[in-house]
Structure formats: structure tokens, C-alpha cells
Amino acid sequence: MTDAAVNILANMTEADAPLTATEDAGAVAWVLTSTALVFLMTAGLGFFYGGLVRDTNIINTMMMSVVSMGIVTLTWVVFGFSWAFGDNGEHGIGLFIGNFDYSFWTGLDMKNWDTLPGLVFAAFQMTFAIIASAIISGSLVERVRFSAYCIMLALWSLLIYAPLCHWVWGPGGWIGQLGALDFAGGTVVHISSGVSGLVAGAILGPRKHVEKDMGPANAPFVILGGCLLWFGWLGFNGGSALSTTDGVAARAVATTFVAAASSMLTWLALERILKGKSTSVGASVGAVAGLVVITPAAGFVTPGWSIAIGALGAPWCYLTVEAVNRIKLVDDTLDAFGLHGSGGFAGAILTGIFAIDGGLIYSGSFVLLGKQIAGALAGVAFSAVGTAIIMGVMKMLFKLRIPEDQELGGVDEHTHGESYSYNSSTKTYAAGGRMTESETSKESVNGHTHLWQTAERILTEMMNVDLSMISFDFSAVERQEEEIDSPSFPGVTTVYRKELVECKVTTPDKALQEKVGLPTMQEWSSTDPQGNTKFFQWLTEAQAEAQKVKLSVHGSHISTLVRAPIGLDEEALKEYLKSCGIDITKFGQDGTKSLKEFSSELIKGETRLLQVPSGEILVITEVVMMILQNPETKETLVQTGQLRVTVL
């Protein structure tokens, strides 16, 4: 063991040395409270992000925030704090990074930061590093490997966050010496995380087969997360005063409240004007936008001007989010850049305009504004280049993305073995058995009865596979509906509904595994006791792609199919269609279905006729697809699709 190592270990055990400055009990209590509030923000961010993703990815998304609490805590203790706040002088390398003096928080129990114990100050700053790192996940969720994300968190917190923190807040940091203002982390936290998320998302690539405007899976989670963030932000900004005696903390808390309220109302107004409705998600996102924008200015502006800052920050962030989503150069999944990167930059500029000491409206000088822009641009450049290097090296060394089948089916079950909702989860069977009555009832409620019954029949009647060897995963069912005007049914809209369910063959029987998907089983048919024949074929993944078989959601959902199926004989069908204003004389002409054929398909269940609340009549043809997977290699063996009997 080296002398340096011995010295570090010795210092780590010394807790009884005298402190170097007088403590302020009020400041200590306030910063300790603020530390707890900021720590709570990461949990709030988990709820906020978790509510915005698909329900098959909620656990993974929330875990990406939670795991930051563990990883960044350790990186901050080991080297991060020392690199950010170690004193390396005001010239040379000291302009850009600290030192190793406080590695493992060595000596902090013997040192004060102004009127705070060193450990209190280090813990408070640690919560900033944690939330900054977690924000990045908003640009990566639903496609990044959890293990790769954890590695990136550790590297980013040390190589990007800690040096940038030193530039702005550390002793001798060049942005701090320049005179740029950043009260609580507009550049350090928000620009760094937002820009880094955008760059990391660009290198990772967009999500596959997912539309940006699918909407949140759980709006109440978003609301809860937004409220927790707002609550914690009072400590985030207020605690950054590091004191309670000069009124700065009170000002920071007041401006934080006011800017968030102003931004929320402005965002709701924008939604109402541009989209016709004000949403609960919009209220939460709008408040967060205001909180981000006020962060660099909180202790430097008056509550009155914070109204303007919130009102100006909301449209800035709103338009940035819309622009990124429309341009589609980068899949910024949860708009981390639009809110944090863009909002942090806006806050830096607005601080240069509204700051009491040196702001443009008070001094008439552009000096502070110029410094603000320079500091913000430096944060953008350093975060972008540094993150690109980290992600580029990682991409060369190992895989960053999850497999496509896991991305389509949802990350929760595959990565964590958990699901947000077990109401429609994996179904297994006792030897030779079927679902119990209670299980069947539960599946009926959750809308998968037809799906699992069809899958059962494929396996038992057509493949002669014992159900005890099979497990169905209904937590990751993918649906896709195509609405077209079919020439077979004049005047009636046809909806082709496809569902993809994962089915795992759990038997180690090699003969059975080899039997599944043999080329000789390319196509077959099955006739039920009622004489209805349905046709099936095996498709490899390549064949499915070649035939343009869609396996996931692409189009808009048909959300109004709520009435019971309609099955009618020919005469009843004729009268029903006439009552709906459909010209029945066109049936049976020029290649269209006859009413007799139409009725026969309805009665046999090959198609379904549904009437939506608007009165429109839809013909539903269902296509069930199934994946069979090797349990040892996790490799997809085959896919099967039910061919449409209806001729288009």
C-alpha cells in the first residue's frame, strides 16, 4: 500500500478534529432540509417520466431514475465532489477541474464550507449530481440497455458533470471567474443533462415502430411526479442560497413558486389555442418548464420579474419540443432536451436580462447578458462533445440498444422480470391443463380472451403441443389496426386488427423445438366442428418483413369500438344495413361480396360487424400473430399469422 493510500485511509477515520469555521445552525438546518427535498426530486422525476411511456416500459423508466441514486452517490463520494470543488488554483488546470483532496470525502468532517459543515455541503451538491444524471434518461428510455445506461451514468457524472460544475461553482472555475451567474444549476444541471440526452439519443438512434404522439400511459403518474418535482425544487433553488440570514433563500423560494405558476398557466393557454384542449400533462410539463427556466435566476431576480420569466420560458420550451418532434432528427423520447436543455439556456439568457445586479433592464448594459450567453454556450459545447465521446466509445465496445423484439414487446419483463400491471401478464398451465375459471375471467376482463383462445387452438389442435410446455406473455401484447375502404364491402369501412403475443416453448425437447417451423409446415388449414375453415402459415422474421406484415402499432388506434359484435343472417343483415343508410344494391356487383357471403362470414366469426357510437359501421377482420421462442437461446424460432379469409 502506498503512502498516499495510507494517508487517505487514515484521514477517513479521523472524525474528532476541530472544524475550521463557525457553523450557522439555521443554515445547517435549512440546507439539510433542502438536501432531502432535492433527493425527493429524483423520485418525482421517476414518476414524471414513468407516466409518459408505454405501460410495458414504466418499471424500466422509473428504475433509470432510481438507479442514479445508487450509482451517482458513489461516484460523487469517490471522486466527483473533489473534482468539482477541489481547489486547484485560479490558473492552468485549476480553471477546469479540481483535485483529489476530497476523494472519498476525505477531510470533509473537519472542514466547513462558509457556515456549513463540509459533509452537509457535499451531500447537498450530491443530490444535484443525482438528479442531473437521471434527467438524461428521458432521451433514452424504451430502447437503451439498462446495463449500458448504468455505465454511461457513472462516466457522465465523473467526466461531464463534475468538471462543468467546477467551471461554474468550483474554486477557480473559469465560468465563475468570468462573472456568469447560475444560481442553482441552469447550466450545471439542465443544459448539461438536456444537451447530453439529445446527443446520446442521436447516437442511440430512434425507437422502432413507436409513434411520438401515442400519449402517456399514466397521466396521474405525470401529475404526481410534477407535484413532487415542484415541491422538491423549493429546496433545489432555495437551498442553493446556503444561508437563511440575508433574504436570498426567501427570494429564491418565492421566485420558484411564481415562475412555475406563470409557466404552467401559459402552457395551458398555448395548448388551448393551438390544440383546442388544455391537458393535465400539459399543466405538469408547463410547471416543470417554469422551474427549469427560473433555476439560474432564482436568487437574482424579483418575484415580479419571475412572472415574466415563467411566461417567456413556457413558449420557448413549448416551441422547442414541437420543433424537435416535427423535425425528427433525434428521438428525444420524453423531451428532456426541449424542457431542460432548451429551458436551461433560456434561463441563462433571462438571468442576464432581469438580474437585479447587472441585468440589462437595470443597468442598461449588455455585459452580463454576454457573459450569460458565453457560459451557456460553453456548457452546451462541453456537454455535447463529451457525451458524444463517451457514447461513441461505448458503442464500439458493446451493444447500447436492447434487441428489437424486446423493444416492441416492452422492456420491463425482459430486463427486470417485473410488470407495472399483472392484470394481463404471463400465463402458464399445469400439466395437460388449461386456465382456471378465475384466470379465464380475469383475461376476459382485460380483453385477451379471444387472443389466448386462438393461441391455445393453434398449439393444441394444429401442433399437438402440450400446454404445460407453453407460457403466454400478455403483458407485452402489441396491437395494430388498419382502417381502409374495402372494395369487398361497399359503403362499409373495414378495419384489419392485428395482435402480436409472445409465446415461449418451455420444453427442452429438441425434437419438438426442431419440429416447430420446419419448411414443410409452411402452410396448413384447420376446420372446426362447425365446419369453419381457417388458414395458417409459418413466417420467419425475414419472410414477415418481405411480405410487409406489420407486427406493431403504426396507425392511430380505433378507440370507439365499444358495442357488441353483430352477427346477422342474410335478411336481417339486409335490413340492418338499409337502416344505417348503406346502399345494399352494390353488394354482389363488380367483385364485391354478396350479402349471403357477407352474412356467412359474420355468422362463422371470420369477420365481425361493429357499430361505433357515431353510427358508422365497421367490418373487423382479426389477424393473430404469435412468436415461438427457444427458451435456452432466446432466439425467435418462427412467427405464425392467421391469413385473412376475406378477399380484398
| pLDDT digits 0-9 by tens, 606-640 | 566 666 556 666 666 555 555 555 555 555 544 44
In this predicted structure, what is the pLDDT of residue 647?
21
User: Residue with C-alpha cell 397521466?
Assistant: 219
How far is it, in rounded angstroms, from Cα 451 to Cα 424?
12
**Contact yes or no for 79/158 (Cβ under 8 A):** yes
Report whether pLDDT(36) > 70: yes
More confident residue, 515 or 29: 29
Picking from 505, 465, 527, the residue whose alpha carbon sits closest to that of residue 632 is 505
Kindly report the backbone phi and psi dihedral angles of residue 647, in degrees, each rounded to the nearest multiple of 5, phi listed first. -90, 125
The residue whose grid cell reads 414477415 is 544
Query: Would you list the DSSP string of 74-116?
Result: HHIIIIIHHHHH----SSGGGGT---STTGGGTTGGG-EETTE
* Domain 23-401: CATH superfamily, name plus number: Ammonium transporter AmtB like domains (1.10.3430.10)
> What are 83-112's pLDDT values in tens digits?
999 999 989 999 999 999 999 999 998 888
- Which has the minimum average pLDDT: 134-148, 496-510, 579-593? 496-510
Amino acid, res. 108: L
Q: How far apart are CA 108 and CA 576, in angstroms?
A: 82
Q: What are the pLDDT digits (tens) for 472-492?
A: 655 555 555 555 565 566 666
Q: Which three cell numbers stand for residue 425?
A: 401478464
Of 376-380, 560-564, 574-578, which has the strongest mean pLDDT? 376-380
User: 3-class secondary structure for 186-237?
Assistant: HHHHHHHHHHHHHHHHHHHCCCCCCCCCCCCCCHHHHHHHHHHHHHHHHHHH
As separate numbers, helices (DSSP H) first and strands (DSSP E) second, the chain gives 25, 10
pLDDT cut 90: percent of the chain above it: 52
Grid coordinates given for 422: 399483472
pLDDT at 590: 75
Nearest to 295 by CA among 387, 188, 176, 389: 188
pLDDT at 447: 40
pLDDT at 326: 86
Written as one letter, the residue type at 363 is S
34, exposed or middle or buried, with CB in 10 Å at 0-12, 13-18, 19+? buried
Domain ranges, ordered by start, for the chain: 23-401, 433-642
Query: What's the grid cell of residue 160?
Result: 461531464
Among 4, 24, 234, 212, residue whose Cα is nearest residue 112 = 24
Residue 169 pLDDT exceeds 80? yes
Q: Are 318 and 297 in contact (CB under 8 A)?
A: no
Which of left, alpha, beta for 530 (phi over 0: left; psi -120 to 50: alpha)?
alpha
Give the three cell numbers for residue 608.
365481425
Choice among 43-47, 195-199, 513-517, 576-580 with the minimum mean pLDDT: 513-517
Under 8 Å between Cβ of 536 and 458: yes
The closest alpha carbon to 502, from 463, 476, 537, 465, belongs to: 476
* Cell matching residue 140: 433514452
Cβ neighbours, 10 Å, residue 109: 17
**E strand residue ranges, 374-432:** 426-428
Q: Give me the chain's average pLDDT, please.
A: 79
Write the DSSP symbol of residue 170: S
Closest by CA to 305, choosing from 356, 244, 230, is 356
Q: What is the pLDDT of residue 540?
A: 54
Q: Which residue has the higher pLDDT, 46 or 473?
A: 46
**DSSP structure class, residue 641:** E
The amino acid occupying position 402 is I
Express each pLDDT in 213-247 by its tens digit: 556 778 999 999 999 999 999 999 999 999 998 89
The one-letter amino acid code at 502 reads: E
Cα distance between residue 300 and residue 244, in whole Å: 15
Phi–psi pair at 356, nearest 5 degrees: -60, -40
Q: What pLDDT shows up at residue 182?
A: 98
User: 378-415 pLDDT, tens per residue?
Assistant: 999 999 999 999 999 999 999 999 987 778 777 888 88
Q: Taking a C-beta distance cutoff of 8 angstroms, is the pair 488, 499 a contact? A: no
